[in-house]
Amino acid sequence: MCICCRERRVYASDVTEKEWAILEPLIPAAKLGGRPQEIERREIVNGILYVLRSGCPWRLLPHDLPNWSTVYLFAQLEYGLPLFSGVETGWHLGTGQCRPPTGGSRQSWA
């Protein structure tokens, strides 16, 4: 199903236009020769950020975001999660600032 044409709820974890302008060049493009891209990369990033911010299991992503398996596979295979480790350790997309991790950070990806 094409998410780009569907109206959906706005979540606090969604990437703003300003944040997307910074992130978009860092996100790998769709691979050549494969199936046409049906889901916008931004929506997949929104799904990943929703899980990271809310702490919900992958399978409990809201139905107006991309399917949980799509978001999970992109996070694991395409992006490798280290790209998003800054979110875990204090990167604030809204301010563009990064705090050093505290003793309570969940994982170290390095």
Written as tens digits, the pLDDT of the chain (110 aa) is: 444 556 788 999 999 999 999 989 888 777 788 888 888 999 999 999 999 899 999 899 999 999 999 998 888 876 555 444 444 444 444 444 445 545 554 554 44
pTM (2 decimals)?
0.65
Token pair for 12: 């606090």
Q: Which residue has the tokens 């505290």?
A: 102
Cα–chain center distance at 65: 11
Structure tokens at 90: 């204090």
- How many Cβ atoms are within 10 Å of 4's Cβ, its own excluded? 10
pLDDT of residue 78: 64
